[in-house]
Structures are given as structure tokens and as C-alpha cells.
Amino acid sequence: MTWQTTKIPLIAILRGITPDEVEQHISLLIEAGFDAIEIPLNSPNWQESIRIAVERYGHLALIGAGTVLKAEQVEEVARLGGRLIVTPNINESVIKKALQLGLVICPGCATATEAFTAIDAGSPNLKVFPSSAFGPDYIKALTAVIPKHIGIFAVGGITPENLHDYLRAGCVGAGLGSDLYKAGQSPDATRQKAAAFIQAYQSFNKL
């Protein structure tokens, strides 16, 4: 499964969200146009949050986990009904377990060596992290050697203002963290930030 699983290749990263906040914020994200939701495993009571998210919105969005470090965690996310696995690093056992279970995998890499390790393990996607530390020119250079069918996501420091730069550099999409959602923020803030990102993505596709 590739990034084409979703209509809009923007992953909403809800780091720090709690189970009692899940429904309100995810409903607003889906209303805005998001259809990929990541709940990082270093969020409080993440198991319950993923369970609620899948139960309420699994038919409307690709829902899963981020900051996944071990194959055992992939299995637990799958048991909860999650279908998306995002990692901050390259761990071949995590990639292979996700693929074995039929999940969408987006592993984090920083170098060409890491990128090809993930590709050789079977990953159809790559997450360049932290993207803002490298910049669009670095990603553009990577795309010169990475096979065209691999979906590259920029993650880390992506804003509505610079999203175009990363898409122009060759990314198919992006993972959106604190510029979209910060733990404890109001639903109104989520609504406004989600709309800004969706507008930025759609405006790029009209260029």
C-alpha cells in the first residue's frame, strides 16, 4: 500500500492528544479534508485514543500510530484496528512487520543510506525527518537517486507557508505536527490550522 491510499497525502500528527479529545479534533480534521491521522505512541493512553479513533472514524480516514519503534508495537496497533505506521527511524523489522500485516508504512530517514535500507526492506514510502533541518534543496537532491515510485513525505517544521517548497522539491505530501496540532489546543485552533494546510495543498495542485 502506498501514499495513494489517501485522497490528500497530508498526515495529521496528533502528538499528546488524550482519549477524551480524540473525537472532537479528528472530526474537525476530517471535515477540513484530512484523511490520514497519526497518534504517536508517546501520547498519553495512546491505545485508547487509537481504539476510539478507529471505531469512530476508521471508515473515513487512514488511522494509525507514529513514533513506532518495535515490531511488537506494530502488532498492537494492528490489533486496535490501526492501518498506518509511521516511524522516526529505519528499523527493518518494523517495516517488514507492517507490510506483513498489510499496513501502510512510512519510515523516517535522513540520509540516502537510510532511505535505501528502507526501500530494500520493501517500504513504498519514506519520511524525511526532520525536514526543516535539511530544507527542500536536500530533499530535491535525494529525489535524484530515489526511485520515482517511492512516496516521499516531508516531516518536521512544515507550515502552510513552506509546504509548496517541499512539494515542489519532489515530496508527494507531508506529515504535520506542532504547526497543525499542539497538545491541549482548542478545537477552534485545530479547525483554523487544518483549513490553512488544506488550502495550501490544494492551491499547489492548481499551479
Q: Residue 149: is its pLDDT beyond 70? A: yes
* E strand or H helix that includes residue 108: strand 108-109
pLDDT digits (tens, 9 = 90+) for 34-43: 999 999 999 9
Q: Residue 1: is its pLDDT beyond 80? A: no
Per the CB < 8 A criterion, the answer to whether 132 and 177 are in contact is no
Per-residue pLDDT band at 206 (split at 50, 70, 90): confident
Q: Could you tell me if residue 182 is left (phi over 0), alpha (psi between -120 and 50 degrees) or otherwise beta?
A: beta
Which pLDDT value is given to residue 5? 72
Which pLDDT value is given to residue 6? 86
Work out the average pLDDT over 17-21.
98
Q: Residue 207: is its pLDDT beyond 70? A: no
Total Cβ atoms within 10 A of residue 31: 12
Which pLDDT value is given to residue 31? 98
Total Cβ atoms within 10 A of residue 178: 16
Q: Rounded to whole angstroms, how far apart are CA atoms 205 and 34?
A: 16
The one catalytic residue among 21, 97, 127, 193: 127
Q: Residue 2: is its pLDDT beyond 60? A: no
Query: Residue ranges of the domains in the chain?
Result: 10-186+195-206
Architecture of domain 10-186+195-206: Alpha-Beta Barrel (3.20)
Structure-derived torsion over alpha carbons of residues 4, 134, 17, 99, reported in degrees to the nearest 10? 40
Residues 6+ apart with CB under 8 A from 75: 97, 101
What is the residue-averaged pLDDT of the chain?
96
Work out the average pLDDT over 173-188.
98
Query: Pairing between strand 125-128 and 84-86?
Result: unpaired
pLDDT digits (tens, 9 = 90+) for 120-133: 999 999 999 999 99
pLDDT digits (tens, 9 = 90+) for 31-75: 999 999 999 999 999 999 999 999 999 999 999 999 999 999 999
Is 97 among the catalytic positions?
no
Is 38 among the catalytic positions?
yes
The one catalytic residue among 21, 38, 97, 193: 38
Work out the average pLDDT over 5-34.
96
Nearest alpha carbon to residue 91 among 77, 75, 106 = 106
Residues 6+ apart with CB under 8 A from 195: 32
